Structure 1
Amino acid sequence: MPPTLPTSGPARPAAVVNAEIRELWRDPRVRLTTEGRARYELLVVEWAAAVRAGIVEAA
Protein backbone atom coordinates (compact mmCIF):
# COMPACT_ATOMS: atom_id res chain seq x y z
CA MET A 1 0.00 0.00 0.00
CA PRO A 2 1.49 3.38 -0.94
CA PRO A 3 2.10 5.85 1.87
CA THR A 4 -0.36 8.67 2.28
CA LEU A 5 0.12 12.25 3.33
CA PRO A 6 -1.71 13.75 6.25
CA THR A 7 -4.92 15.38 5.09
CA SER A 8 -5.54 17.63 8.06
CA GLY A 9 -3.54 20.08 10.07
CA PRO A 10 -1.15 22.78 8.95
CA ALA A 11 0.92 22.22 5.83
CA ARG A 12 4.60 21.56 6.30
CA PRO A 13 7.04 24.17 4.99
CA ALA A 14 8.54 23.49 1.56
CA ALA A 15 12.04 23.32 3.07
CA VAL A 16 11.00 20.51 5.43
CA VAL A 17 9.43 18.51 2.60
CA ASN A 18 12.46 19.15 0.39
CA ALA A 19 14.75 17.82 3.13
CA GLU A 20 12.64 14.66 3.31
CA ILE A 21 12.87 14.25 -0.48
CA ARG A 22 16.65 14.61 -0.32
CA GLU A 23 16.85 12.07 2.51
CA LEU A 24 14.68 9.61 0.59
CA TRP A 25 16.73 9.89 -2.59
CA ARG A 26 20.30 10.47 -1.42
CA ASP A 27 21.91 9.13 -4.59
CA PRO A 28 20.04 9.86 -7.84
CA ARG A 29 22.04 7.11 -9.56
CA VAL A 30 20.24 4.53 -7.44
CA ARG A 31 16.69 3.64 -8.39
CA LEU A 32 14.01 3.94 -5.77
CA THR A 33 11.93 0.95 -4.77
CA THR A 34 8.29 0.93 -5.81
CA GLU A 35 7.36 2.11 -2.33
CA GLY A 36 10.10 4.75 -2.37
CA ARG A 37 8.92 6.03 -5.73
CA ALA A 38 5.34 6.30 -4.48
CA ARG A 39 6.55 8.22 -1.42
CA TYR A 40 8.70 10.46 -3.62
CA GLU A 41 5.73 11.32 -5.85
CA LEU A 42 3.58 12.22 -2.85
CA LEU A 43 6.35 14.36 -1.40
CA VAL A 44 6.80 16.25 -4.69
CA VAL A 45 3.07 17.04 -4.75
CA GLU A 46 3.25 18.17 -1.11
CA TRP A 47 6.35 20.27 -1.83
CA ALA A 48 4.70 21.98 -4.81
CA ALA A 49 1.62 22.80 -2.71
CA ALA A 50 3.85 24.25 0.02
CA VAL A 51 5.69 26.39 -2.51
CA ARG A 52 2.39 27.66 -3.96
CA ALA A 53 1.10 28.42 -0.45
CA GLY A 54 4.28 30.37 0.26
CA ILE A 55 3.86 32.43 -2.89
CA VAL A 56 0.23 33.22 -2.10
CA GLU A 57 1.15 34.10 1.49
CA ALA A 58 3.90 36.45 0.29
CA ALA A 59 1.50 38.24 -2.05
Structure 2
Amino acid sequence: MSPDLVTSPGVVRSAADLNAAIRALWSHPAVPLSREQRAEYERLCAELRRVERGDVTTAA
Protein backbone atom coordinates (compact mmCIF):
# COMPACT_ATOMS: atom_id res chain seq x y z
CA MET A 1 0.00 0.00 0.00
CA SER A 2 1.28 3.43 -0.86
CA PRO A 3 2.15 5.60 2.15
CA ASP A 4 0.17 8.49 0.64
CA LEU A 5 -3.01 6.41 0.85
CA VAL A 6 -2.70 5.71 4.57
CA THR A 7 -4.57 8.06 6.86
CA SER A 8 -4.62 8.37 10.63
CA PRO A 9 -7.64 7.11 12.54
CA GLY A 10 -10.26 9.84 12.83
CA VAL A 11 -9.09 11.62 9.67
CA VAL A 12 -11.88 12.08 7.14
CA ARG A 13 -10.81 12.42 3.52
CA SER A 14 -12.91 14.32 1.01
CA ALA A 15 -14.64 12.60 -1.89
CA ALA A 16 -12.17 14.32 -4.23
CA ASP A 17 -9.20 12.97 -2.25
CA LEU A 18 -10.68 9.47 -2.26
CA ASN A 19 -11.39 9.61 -5.99
CA ALA A 20 -7.80 10.73 -6.62
CA ALA A 21 -6.47 7.84 -4.51
CA ILE A 22 -8.68 5.36 -6.40
CA ARG A 23 -7.48 6.67 -9.77
CA ALA A 24 -3.85 6.57 -8.59
CA LEU A 25 -4.04 2.80 -8.04
CA TRP A 26 -4.00 2.12 -11.77
CA SER A 27 -0.91 2.85 -13.80
CA HIS A 28 -2.95 2.09 -16.95
CA PRO A 29 -6.55 0.90 -17.45
CA ALA A 30 -5.37 -2.32 -19.12
CA VAL A 31 -3.10 -3.27 -16.17
CA PRO A 32 -4.87 -5.44 -13.58
CA LEU A 33 -4.57 -4.64 -9.89
CA SER A 34 -2.52 -6.83 -7.56
CA ARG A 35 -4.28 -8.52 -4.66
CA GLU A 36 -3.06 -5.77 -2.30
CA GLN A 37 -4.16 -3.02 -4.68
CA ARG A 38 -7.58 -4.67 -5.06
CA ALA A 39 -7.97 -4.73 -1.26
CA GLU A 40 -6.97 -1.03 -1.05
CA TYR A 41 -9.40 -0.22 -3.90
CA GLU A 42 -12.23 -1.92 -2.01
CA ARG A 43 -11.36 -0.03 1.21
CA LEU A 44 -11.24 3.28 -0.66
CA CYS A 45 -14.58 2.61 -2.38
CA ALA A 46 -16.21 1.74 0.95
CA GLU A 47 -14.80 4.92 2.51
CA LEU A 48 -16.01 6.96 -0.47
CA ARG A 49 -19.53 5.52 -0.14
CA ARG A 50 -19.58 6.47 3.57
CA VAL A 51 -18.42 10.01 2.78
CA GLU A 52 -20.99 10.40 0.00
CA ARG A 53 -23.78 9.19 2.30
CA GLY A 54 -22.59 11.43 5.11
CA ASP A 55 -21.95 8.47 7.43
CA VAL A 56 -18.69 9.93 8.77
CA THR A 57 -17.95 12.57 11.34
CA THR A 58 -14.71 14.32 12.11
CA ALA A 59 -12.88 13.53 15.32
CA ALA A 60 -13.08 16.08 18.12
TM-score (normalised: structure 1) = 0.69
Aligned equivalent of 2:41:
40
Distance 1:15 1:37, change over 3 A: same
* Runs of 5+ unmatched residues, structure 1: 55-59
Question: CA–CA distance in 2 between the matches of 1:43 and 1:10?
Answer: 13
Aligned equivalent of 2:19:
18
Aligned equivalent of 1:27:
28
* Runs of 5+ unmatched residues, structure 2: 1-5, 56-60
Higher helix fraction (1 or 2) = 1
Q: Segments of 4+ in structure 1 off by > 2 A?
A: 5-8
Percent identity, aligned pairs only? 42
Shift of residue 29, structure 1, vs aligned partner: 1.1
Question: CA–CA distance in 1 between the matches of 2:39 and 2:50?
Answer: 17
